[in-house]
Structure 1
Amino acid sequence: MPTGRVKVFDEERNFGFVQPIEGGEDVYVHASTLEGTVLRSGDVIEYDVQEGDDGPQATSVRIAERAPEDNPAGRVVVGGPPPTWDELEQIEREKRQRRRQRRRRR
C-alpha cells in the first residue's frame, strides 16, 4: 500500500493532492474516500491507487501520521511555501494536456 504526504486539502471543495513518498506524480484525493475524518496538509496517509480520467486517484485512504497541530494550517514547508490553488490547478491542467498529447501519438 503506497504512502504519501498530503500537499493540500480543501475542506470546502472536498479534494486535495498527495505527494507519494516513493516519488512520482501527485495523487488526487477526494473526501468521499475518507472514513469520517478530514485531511490536513502535512498528514501522512496510506492509500490504494486507481487510475482515473485525469490521472491517479487515492482510494481506501487511512491516516498513518497526523501533521502537528501547532504547525500553521498543518503545512509542511519544504523548500518554500506551498503552491496556491491556482498553481495546483494549472499544474493539473498541464498534466492532463500532456496525457492527451501522449494518447494522440499512439
Structure 2
Amino acid sequence: MLMTGKVVRFDEVRGYGFIAPADAGEDVFMHANDLLDEKYLYQEGREVEFFLEQGDKGPKASQIRLVHQPTAIRLPSRPAGAPEDRQAVRGAGGDGATDAARFRAELTEALLDSSGTLTADQIKQVRECVVALARKRGWIAH
C-alpha cells in the first residue's frame, strides 16, 4: 500500500532510520537499500512516499522517494565571499541594479538548495534580511 509520511530520523552512516506515517500509527523502519534518491537528501522532516510492508521486526518501508525534489542547481565550488564574488556583487563597473538582482537570484537558489523544508515565505523572509544586510555593508548597490 502506497503511503506518505515524514522522516523522523535517518542515519546516513548506519543506513537506516524511521518514518512517521501521515495517517498516524507506529513509526516505519526505513533502510538505505530502499531509497530511490540520494541518501543524504533524507533529512528529518522531509516528506516521503513509500510502500508499507511487514518486515521481520514490524512495519518496513520500501521504494522510498522524496515527495518534493530539491533543485538540481548547486553552489559554486569556490568559497563564498571569494574576492571575485565580492567584486561581481559590488558591480566592478557594472549596473548595480543588475548586480543586486543577480545576487538576489543566486541567494534564492542557495536557499532552495540548502534545505528542502523551508517554505516559500521563509525563503522570502531570509532573502530580504540578507539583501538588506548586503546593501548596508555595501556589498550590493542600494
Same fold at TM > 0.5? yes
TM-score range, shorter chain: 0.5 to 0.7
- 2:82 corresponds in structure 1 to none
* Contact 1:44/1:66 (8 A) holds in 2: no
Separation in 2 of the partners of 1:44 and 1:56? 18
1:23-59 alpha-carbon deviations (Å, 9 max, x no partner): 0010000000012411111110000011011110000
* Contact 2:37/2:66 (8 A) holds in 1: no
- 1:90 corresponds in structure 2 to none
User: May I ask how many residue pairs the two structures share in their alignment?
Assistant: 72
Counterpart check, 1:24 vs 2:25: yes
Q: SS at 1:65's partner residue?
A: coil
- 1:60 corresponds in structure 2 to 63
Task: Specify the structure having the higher radius of gyration (Cα).
Answer: 2
* Contact 1:9/1:16 (8 A) holds in 2: yes
* Contact 1:51/1:57 (8 A) holds in 2: yes
TM-aligned CA deviation for residue 66 of structure 1:
5.9
Identify which of structures 1 and 2 has the higher relative contact order when contacts are C-alpha pairs closer than 8 Å and 6+ apart. 1
TM-aligned CA deviation for residue 14 of structure 1:
0.1
Superposition RMSD in Å: 2.1
Structure 2: unaligned runs, 5 residues or longer: 71-111, 118-142
- 1:46 corresponds in structure 2 to 49
Separation in 1 of the partners of 2:56 and 2:115? 37
1:59 alignment partner AA: S
Tell me which protein shows more helix as a share of its residues.
2
Q: Percent identity?
A: 35
Q: Normalising to structure 2: TM-score of the pair? A: 0.46
